[in-house]
Amino acid sequence: MPYDTLLSPVTIGNLQLPNRVVMAPLTRNRASQPGDVPSEMNAHYYAQRAGAGLIVTEATQVSRQGQGYFATPGIYSDPQEAGWRAVVGAVHARHGRIASQLWHVGRVSHRLLQEGGAPPVAPSAMRAADTQVFVKRDDGTFGMIDADEPRALETAELPGIVLQFVDAAHRAKRAGFDMIEVHAANGYLLHQFMATGANHRTDDYGGGIENRVRLTVDVLEAVSGVMGANRVGIRISPNFTGFGLQDDEGETSSLHLARELKRIGVAYLHLAEADWAGGAPLSDDYRRALRQAFDGAIIVCGEYTAEEANARIERGGADAVAFGRAYLANPDLVERFRKDAPLNAPDEATFYGGGEKGYTDYPALDDAGRG
């Protein structure tokens, strides 16, 4: 069988995955309005992809403050929780497993998306350079707009940020999610706190590595208290340089974080690699150091083919591999890997926003012949 390592079972935390093919988190901006509520169409999309060893949902804001784009789903209201319960139910009905990716965008936002037109929040009052977010303007039209000047969070507000994740974790647990993945990657709030270029604080949450990583550790500890650490993962991207983020110590601080995650007993660490996100590629030395620092499962992601994924796992660099654009375009990705069948190409024009087109209408192998 081709890719037999990739297609072999693995245990992550207390979950048994039938294969090591993970569906990467993919923002699709198709939550129903008003209220950013997951819909039946969203449930259908995830259920189509239930063959994955584990699905990680699109990033899901833990609060209105944590939102940076129009029509991304939330997990802070009752209707949102009910919407997610239906998504999880649809995935479980097809014998899949699904993690909720919990998200706070921090400064990658605009006051048009915020409650009462408030400025977005960040570790320091520094705008994300060269960053645009998708908004609905006051006149009802949609479009991209430069990220707003954020307000620096007061030290006394930080327990409230942790609480946003805790409340969301309670809702995710009630909705039946198998796992929670805390989004600490790609230049959003937790990453902003970790990065030298976005965090100029002088309190216990700024300065040295231990301080900059503190909020992420606080969140992971608190979410683990709700869900059980063996059902919690985290996504990081140590060398990410998008959204104006610059970090002189990304790899070093991620190794410190990894040791803290080991202490907490977190189930997995999901690496969004630099080859997609920008920045320098991760070295083999770094991968080895990460393995030493952390004893849970490692998931990697970023432009992998099945062949490269299989080889990465065989070399010991990962326990599972997540696929983003390939999963978006191939609902039966695992089946295609099993048969070494060709893949549908993703249509970039329909990535963000819209309806069924480019979302639920990518054909599976067994319906490729039908119009």
Ligand X SMILES: Cc1cc2nc3c(=O)[nH]c(=O)nc-3n(C[C@H](O)[C@H](O)[C@H](O)COP(=O)(O)O)c2cc1C
User: What's at 275, amino acid-wise?
Assistant: D
CB-based closest residue to ligand X: 324
Distance CA 255, CA 277 (A): 19
Q: CB of 285: closest distance to ligand X in angstroms? A: 22
- Of the pair 20, 235, the CB lying nearest ligand X is at 235
Burial of 194 (0-12, 13-18, 19+ CB in 10 A): buried
Site for ligand X in 290-329 (CB under 6 A): 301-303, 323-326
CB of 232 to ligand X, least distance (A): 15
3-state secondary structure of 119: coil
Q: Cα–Cα distances in Å, from 369 out to 132, 339, 344?
A: 40, 17, 13
**Smallest gap from residue 58 Cβ to ligand X (A):** 5
| Binds ligand X by CB under 6 A, chosen from 61, 186, 216, 239 | 186
For residues 205 to 244, the per-residue mask of contacts with ligand X, x marking binding by CB under 6 A and - elsewhere, is: ------------------------------x---------
Which residue's CB is nearer to ligand X, number 23 or number 166?
Answer: 23
Number of residues assigned to the chain: 371
Shortest Å distance, C-beta 235 to ligand X: 5
Exactly one of 10, 90, 180, 185 binds ligand X (CB under 6 A); that residue is: 185
First to last CA, the chain: 30
Whether omega before 34 lies within 30 degrees of 0, making that bond cis, reads yes
CA angle, residues 114, 119, 120, in degrees to nearest 5:
75
| Residue 69 designated active-site | no
Residue 301 CB, shortest distance to ligand X, in Å, is: 4
Catalytic residue, candidates 46, 188, 327, 359: 188
Task: Determine contact, residues 128/187, Cβ cutoff 8 Å.
Answer: yes
Interaction of residue 351 with ligand X, rule CB under 6 A: yes
Distance of CA 128 to the CA centre of its chain: 19
Mind telling me the catalytic residues? 188
Q: Which residues bind ligand X (CB under 6 A)?
A: 24-27, 58-59, 101, 183, 185-186, 235, 272, 276, 301-303, 323-326, 351
